[in-house]
Every structure is written in structure tokens, then in C-alpha cells.
Amino acid sequence: MEINKNLKIYNTLTRRKEEFSPLEEGKVKMYACGITVSGEAHIGHGYQALIYDIMRKYFEKKGYDVTYARNYTDVDDKIIAKSRETGIPADIYAEKMIEKIDKVMAEMDIDEPTLWLKATQNINTIIGFIEKLIANGHAYAASNGDVYFDVSSFKRYGCLSNRSVEDMLDGVRIENGEEKRSPADFALWKAAKEGEIRWHSPWGEGRPGWHIECSAMNMAAFGDQIDLHGGGRDLVFPHHENEIAQTESLTGKQFAKFWTHNGLIKVNGQKMSKSLGNSLLLEDLLKKYTNEAIKFALLQFNYRADINLTDGIFDEAERHLTGFYKVIKTVEEKFGKGTGNEKIDSQFNADMDDDFNTALALSRLFGLFKDISARAEKGDKTCADDVAQIKKTYSLLGLFKKNAEDYLKEVESKNAEEIPQSVKELAEKRWQAKLAKNWAEADALRAQIDSLGYTVKDSKDGYIISKK
């Protein structure tokens, strides 16, 4: 299969869009920094996993053989703090959190990567990596058992974040107990403190620093170089900057050809954080919305842009998808299954070739479904071909993967579950008033329900309550 090479990707390293070409013809090696398992999966974690799953699938659609690796950071300061707080050993705490996170990601219908990498399963690789950095003069061991990377030894430091070492040092100090030569140097290995998880090393018992984990795991999985490295934009500095320094100091080769970074998520204009209490856990969102509605809401934005999750954004996405699925249901019941329409797929590919532009691809759905609905009313059977193609093409984004009737029932079920008891009681009173032919009271109760943001509609089985 001949590979279409029109794909252009924004490269954080060069700060421009570049035509993608892999290191090895026909193959893509890609790595995305995963979750530090100190807490449960929130919407930011889900978004990053979704974006890189889509990138992997689009590479595959274009004909590449893709090896996609993600990692779990299962040992770090935050996990150790949680271990102390809960009394659960750090390794067992991390394992339990990974189980929970895997389960919720499965509910989001995000595929597994080709390779799952964990820091604790690569300790020997990490130690070997650090030993080589010390041997070639890029790292040094302190007397207290810590090991640091010597930033001054890597002349390209700052190439990814476009910052000078002087700028990075502004406000940075050497903390008590640290034996750094410079405040810019960062830890590769940390000597274990009392009660901390630890491993034996040439420098004494301790554990890896955060940054070295990804460099070592990349090398174990792929060798010296990869095609694409990704993660959230908050990782550009210091994490990814430090990865470049470590890896290229060891290999003398360019670590990643392309660096990609998704935007950050805000909630009603504020950065999402535990301290503000505005973290949106995936588990909670999936109780209220279908996974496709969550994806639709997120993918309306360019992946590099920050997303501001305002009140109602998921409700609106659910309404749009419900409308689209109703059209699908009508068309398939009226005309059966279609065969496809290459024009729809070609336009989608053109959008995705422009730096994975899911926002533009999704915006086209409104016009497509409006046209399909109008043609269906006129009895145009070819609209079934368009529906079939949309389902096939947009499944790459995780959309339209369900039977239309099943999806609509799922939405109805989730709406019913979240309706407050007080609203249910008003609806029942209205129903009883209607049975008693007390029309004025029934109308007044309907108006009250409406003012609370819900609608009630009579059906052959009684009534249906739904959110506006």
C-alpha cells in the first residue's frame, strides 16, 4: 500500500508545521507521556489519551505500521505522599490506581497502546542509563546518594521550550539537603528517605527522578530515536526539555523528530486543579454523559489550543450527537444500510492532514446531517451512503460507533438517572392532576418543571422527563 504523505504536523521543536516523514520508511515509533498515578483519572488525562489514540489511528489509516507506547509513572513524590497519607505501600497504591484508571479509560473507549511502560519495571534500565551519563561527564553523584544531570554540559538545553538557562534560573534556589553544582541541574536518582520505596543502586538505596524514567523507557522500547513524542503542553518544560538533554547527551543523536503537545483544560476559565476543587473526574462525567458526547465536546477544539469547559458544554455535545443519531436511525430504517461516499472520507482526510484538525472535521457534520435529513424527506436513497460513510470515517474519532437505537436509549437512561427527585415528584403530581382532568394544575406544574430546566412529555406509557 502506497502511503499518502500529505500529513503536516506542528512541531514544538521547530515551532512550525512540517510534512511528516518517519525515520524508517513505512513505520512510525511514537511515545506519549501518560498518567502519574497519584490520583484518579480526570478529563485532562482522558483528553491526552484520546488525542494520541487518534494520532496513532490516523497514522495507521495512512498506511503506516505504528508502534505506540505510553507510560504510567508509578513512583514519584506524589505517589509517596499518597502512600504516607493512606498507609498503603507505594507500589501497592500505584497498582490499585492503575487498575481504576484502566477501567475508566476502557469506559471512555480509548484503545490500549501497543506498549504499556512502567517506571518500576524498568529500574535496571534507568540505573544503566544514569551510569552511562556519569561515565561520559553529563551527570554526577553527590555524597548523599543523589545523582544530578549537569545542565551546563548540554549546550542545546532550552531548545524545546525556547528559554535560556538564565531565564530558567530566575527564582530557582538550591534547597537544603541538595548537593547540586547549579540550581539548574536536575535529579536523575534520589536517595531514599525514611519509609520511602527504594531500590539498590551504585549510589545507595533510592529511586529514579521523574525525567529519567521516560528517556530510559523510550530507549528500552525503541532504541536511540523515535518519530514522535507527545504529551500535555505543561510538560514542555521541564520534563520534555530534560528528556532531550538526557537522551541526546547519551546517544549524540536527535531524540525525537517531532514533538507534539496538546493544550490544557480549564473549567469556567480557571486552570483545573485539586486545590481549586474543580477537577472533573472521568468516572463522574461518564455517569452523566456518553463517552461519545465527551469526545465530541473535546474534539471541537484544535488539539494544541487550551479548552475552556464552560457549564453546559457536555450537554450541548450530547444534544448535537442525539440529533445526528436520530437522523441515522431514520435513514437506516427507511433505506437500509448504504455503501459509502468517498467524497466525505476525502474531505475528512484533508482536514486531518492539516495537523489533525478534528475541529474542522467535526464542524462539517452539521451541514452533512442537515443535507442528509432533507434528502431523506424527499426519498433520496443515496443519503444512506452518506450515513454509512460518516459512521465509518468518524469512528476514527470514537464517534458513531454504536447502533443508533442503542445510543438514543443510553442517552435517555443517563438523563433519567440525573433528574433530581424533586423534579420527578413534580412530574408525578402533574400526571395525577392530568388523570383527574385538573388541567390548570397540570399546566402550572409543567411550567414549574420547565423553570427548573427540565421538560415533561406525555407518552403512551405515561410521561418522559428530560433535561432541556
- pLDDT tens for 201-230 read 999 999 999 999 999 999 999 999 999 999
Residue 71 has pLDDT above 90, yes or no: yes
If you average pLDDT over every residue of the chain, what do you get? 93
For the residues of 393-447, what is the DSSP string, one character each? HHGGGT-S-S-HHHHHHHHHHHHHHHS-HHHHHHHHHHHHHHHTT-HHHHHHHHH
8 A C-beta contact, residue 401 and residue 292: yes
Of 231, 295, 288, the C-alpha closest to 264 is: 231
pLDDT 10s digits, 173-201: 677 678 999 999 999 999 999 989 999 99
Confidence bin at 462 (pLDDT 50/70/90): confident
Distances (CA, A) of 57 to 10, 318, 352: 18, 24, 11
**What predicted TM-score, i.e. pTM, was given to this entire model?**
0.88
Rounded to whole angstroms, the Cα distance separating 262 from 167 reads 24
Q: Which residues of 320-345 are buried (b: 16+ CB within 10 A; e: fewer)?
A: bbbebbebbbbbbeebeebebbeebb
pLDDT 10s digits, 101-153: 999 999 999 999 999 999 999 999 999 999 999 999 999 999 999 999 999 99
Cβ neighbour number for residue 414 with a 10 Å cutoff:
17
Residue 2 has pLDDT above 80, yes or no: no
- Give pLDDT, residue 171: 59
**What's the N-to-C CA distance of the chain in angstroms?**
49
Of 326, 408, 325, 344, the C-alpha closest to 382 is: 344
User: Which carries the bigger pLDDT value, residue 244 or residue 171?
Assistant: 244
Q: How many residues can be counted in the chain?
A: 468
